[in-house]
Amino acid sequence: MFTGLVETAGRLRRVEPRGPGVQLTIAAPRAMVAELTLGESVAVDGACLTVLRWADDWFAVDASAETMKRTTLGERQIGDPLHLERALKLGDRLGGHIVAGHVDATGAVRSVEPLGEALTVRYDAPDAIRKYLVPKGSIAIDGVSLTVNGVDERGFDVVLVPHTQGVVHLHRKAPGARVNLEADVIGKYVERLLAWRSGEESRLGDGVDLSLLAKTGFLG
């Protein structure tokens, strides 16, 4: 489990085929690499991957064919920057929100507009993501925990304050660039529990609507 607060930035150093998947070698600060342990989880641009080996200023992880298909990692070129976050330790402050590191889908940058010293970034997102979005709720974009500013028929927007711009590289992505998206896990559990309670678990892919809320006693 992660918080969506990026710990540091790394860069893609090498990509090697491993059966249907690949092994990624990632350059990272020595201070981070020195603390890694075999089998621990690291979120790489929001995708939870397992550390296999490391030395000095790099570490290696395997990414399955499913991970490469579902995320944007397959589009990364050698030298591209990557957001890195080690798993949350018991007792740490939860400064972002609960992030599983399981990317739900990809979205795309729609526009980037100045807002004083901040930036408003709008994203297009598939229905699989949009149904979980609420204004002032949370979403993970390339592993970064951000507050949803607004939701529209195509997607959503967020505001990147100067501090965030100094830590992550989301603001450097041009319109059309794809990003990894993970919706708030709490919304997913609420949807599933409501569906099971109503005896309509076959509708799990359809999302929560007013009729379902009424049947389960949440609306008068």
In a domain, 64, yes or no: yes
Q: Which of 86, 120, 151 is the last residue of a domain?
A: 86
> Does 111 lie in the same domain as 63?
no
The pLDDT value given to residue 11: 98
CA distance 217 to 212: 9
- Residue 50: which CATH number? 2.40.30.20
In a domain, 205, yes or no: yes
The pLDDT value given to residue 197: 72
Domain count, the chain: 3
Q: Which of 55, 86, 117 is the last residue of a domain?
A: 86
Residue type for position 120 = T
Structure tokens at 64: 């399955």
CA distance 126 to 155: 7
Mean pLDDT of 1-26: 96
> Does 176 lie in the same domain as 194?
no
> Does 174 lie in the same domain as 118?
yes
The string of pLDDT tens digits covering residues 145-173 is 999 999 999 999 999 999 999 999 999 99
> Does 39 lie in the same domain as 19?
yes
The string of pLDDT tens digits covering residues 82-134 is 999 999 998 888 899 999 999 999 999 999 999 999 999 999 999 999 999 99
Residue type for position 144 = V
Which of residues 194 and 68 earns the better pLDDT score? 68
> Does 164 lie in the same domain as 200?
no
The pLDDT value given to residue 93: 87
- Is pLDDT of 200 > 90? no
The pLDDT value given to residue 208: 60
In a domain, 166, yes or no: yes
- Is pLDDT of 199 > 80? no
Query: In sequence order, what E strands does the chain have?
Result: 8-18, 21-27, 41-44, 47-55, 58-63, 81-86, 105-115, 118-124, 138-141, 144-147, 150-151, 155-160, 178-183
> Does 164 lie in the same domain as 191?
no
> Does 138 lie in the same domain as 161?
yes
> Does 193 lie in the same domain as 166?
no
CA distance 93 to 6: 13
Average pLDDT of the chain is: 92
In a domain, 63, yes or no: yes
Pairing of strands 150-151, 138-141: unpaired
> Does 109 lie in the same domain as 75?
no
Structure tokens at 76: 């990364």
Q: Which of 56, 86, 116 is the last residue of a domain?
A: 86
In a domain, 158, yes or no: yes
Range(s) of the domain holding residue 114:
105-183
The pLDDT value given to residue 115: 97
The string of pLDDT tens digits covering residues 25-77 is 999 999 999 999 999 999 999 999 999 999 999 999 999 999 999 999 999 99
> Does 161 lie in the same domain as 197?
no
End-to-end alpha carbon distance in the chain:
37
> Does 76 lie in the same domain as 52?
yes
> Does 115 lie in the same domain as 72?
no
CA distance 67 to 39: 17
In a domain, 1, yes or no: no
The pLDDT value given to residue 69: 93
Rounded to an integer, what is the distance from CA 59 to the centroid of its chain?
21
